[in-house]
Amino acid sequence: MNGKNRTIVWGGGLWIVWGIFLLAAVGIGIGGRAAAQKAASVAPVADWLTDGGDIERTAWQRHETLLSTESVRSMKMLWRTRLDNEPRQMHNLLPVLIAGRVTTERGPKQIVLVTGVTDNLYALDAENGQLLWHHKFKTDWTPPPGGGRGAGILCPGGITATPVIGPTDTPGKYTIYAAAWDGTLRRLNLADGKEIAPPAKFMPPNGKPYALSLRQNVIYTHTAQGCGGNPNMVYIYDLATDKVGTWGPAGGGMWGRTGPAISSSGVLYTGTGDGPWDPENGVYGNGIIGVRQNPETKAGELVDYYGPTNAEWLWKRDLDMQVTPAIFRFKGRELMVDAGKECVVYLMDTESIGGDDHRTPLHRTPLICNEEVNFASAGIWGSMATWEDTDGSRWVLTPFWGPKHSKFAAPIENGAVKYGAIAAFKVAERNQKWTLDPAWISRDMNRAEPPVIANGVIFAYGSGEDTDQAAFDIGLAYNHDSSYRIRNSKKAVLYALDARTGKELWNSGSQVDSWVHWGGLSVANGRVYLNTFDGYQYCFGIEQAGDQSASVSPGGKR
């Protein structure tokens, strides 16, 4: 090697060294970002511990930072997992619950809890959809042959109430509270799915309770449809004393999709299904009631009620008040919104939801939809939603089915609506007069379902479900056998909308292979969850390091 060659060799060696240095620097940078993202993905801060997001059933994920109106445009399916729960009628999987950081034997995990109607609970790793554990409730109770009284689409049997997750005194440790098919209250450790207490008597078996709620060591729910031959009641389980308070029956049942909404003073609110409105005789059909636990006796006590002035009409046309309300604070007052099949939204003050005469809410919108006055496939179903904007304005959202009413209009309408949409209102107060001002209507969705809100984005979906209950030639026989509706249901589609305009930012296209009944959205930590009748649990979100888009086989195994 002469001096030139050495120099060249030295120069070449120098470039190699710099190249290695640069590569190393880049590698460290990439690894650093990955580590940071991985750190972020294993150290989330948000939970979704109850159906509807919170006990007020706002459906608002307040702690979202990853999803935004910008990032959501690149949202994708991160994983989907097939679960082996056996469907009952049109029911399969219920809306999921999410605990952002659970201490497990395998380290901290973000756990997605999925409930299967046939007495099954599944815990999935939110990172990848892998099954962490599966638990099926054991019982000595035997379901009646043929399903028992009222068995059918309206009374499927099994678990119908989304459980609720309660934090414990130990950070990272959570307890699941679930109402099993046999009517007992079950308590399980979220980390491993083991029951931590014997089954406790709660409700009659084979009924139809709705999503559980937990407030100050008390579980709340209500039942509907008279399933299993049981009256339609409010149930309040006091965990400290193991006493169960009740109130009811009421109307044709209380069947808001996400169960009751609970105010800051512990009053449970729910709409009541078909029945006469006759408060003088203690009968509260087609209205809204407020029930509270007596702090001394633990009994359920009626403390407030509201009956629309056209309650007789609502009963006559089967336009139940069957939507879970949403409760929120605005301008110093605790307000509530609710709705029903008629397709009118009511704004109420929880101080007195119906005013002095129990028939006067703060505001009642005009008809938003259901011009045909149909009891199925039209109207508002499921639950309300609400969120507070950064400028302090308060938004109220409602899904609705069927075409928009020809006389209803909003300043922003994102296209003609035929099958359903989301309608958004702003709560306004002018000279002590309260209104819900129409703001926008979303694009058309095939049976728009209750939305959730996260960081300025509305997530909504069209369930694709065939919601008809009668046919012109065979009448109600169409609804006797779920096979008609199952066969005629279409694929669900998930949408992301700008919360201020309703403009569509993203949709799932044809990625979801089936339809949804009795489902709902859950959102936390950059991910949105939806499950379908064919047993798949879907996770959509922003791809992060460590994510593995995958499809998992039945049983939750890869």
Q: Is 402 in the site for another protein (CB under 8 A)?
A: no
Q: Interaction with another protein in 244-263: which residues (CB under 8 A)?
A: 244-252
- Kindly determine how many residues on this chain lie close enough to bind another protein according to the rule CB under 8 A: 84
Token code pair at residue 30? 């990439």
Tokens of 386: 């609400």
Contacting another protein within 105-124 (CB under 8 A): none
Residue nearer to another protein on the CB measure, 140 or 473:
473
Q: Site residues for another protein, window 135-154 (CB under 8 A)?
A: 142-152, 154
Q: Dihedrals φ, ψ of 229, to 5°? A: 80, 10
**In the bound complex, what is the minimum distance in angstroms from residue 500's beta carbon to another protein?**
34
- Report the nearest approach of another protein to the CB of residue 106 (Å): 36
Give the one residue of 192, 429, 468, 534 binding another protein; rule: CB under 8 A: 468
User: Among all chains, which residue has been given the structure tokens 């609720």?
Assistant: 164
* Alpha carbon distance 120, 382 (integer Å): 23
**Nearer residue to another protein within complex by CB, 235 or 306:** 235
Query: What residues from 193 to 222 belong to the interface with another protein (CB under 8 A)?
Result: 200-205
Choice from 376, 460, 512, 528 touching another protein (CB under 8 A)? 376
Which stretches of 307-393 are assigned E, i.e. beta strand?
Answer: 323-324, 326-330, 333-339, 345-349, 363-364, 382-383, 385-388
Question: Residue 401 is which amino acid?
Answer: W
Helices (H), 266-420: 311-316
Rule CB under 8 A: which of 481-520 touch another protein? Answer: 481, 484, 487-488
- Residue 341 or 394 having the CB closest to another protein: 341
Q: Retrieve residue 419's tokens.
A: 């099958």
Distance CA(180)–CA(1), nearest Å, equals 84
Give the interface segment with another protein, choosing from 44-52, 110-118, 229-237, 414-422 (CB under 8 A): 229-237
Polymer length of the chain: 558
Provide, rounded to whole angstroms, the least separation between the CB of residue 38 and another protein.
46
Based on the number of CB atoms within 10 Å of its own CB, is 105 exposed (0-12), middle (13-18) or buried (19 or more)?
Answer: exposed
Comparing CA positions, the residue from 323, 263, 336, 301 lying closest to residue 449 is: 323
68 binds another protein (CB under 8 A): no
Binding flags for another protein, 2-31, as an x/- string (CB under 8 A): ------------------------------
Q: Specify the 3-state DSSP secondary structure of 13.
A: helix
What part of residues 261-320 is at the interface with another protein (CB under 8 A)?
Answer: 274-276, 278, 281-285, 289, 294, 297-302, 309-310, 312-313, 316-318
Encoding tokens for residue 468? 């008809």
Query: Alpha-carbon distance 509 to 71, whole Å?
Result: 18
**H-assigned helices in 412-506:** 482-488
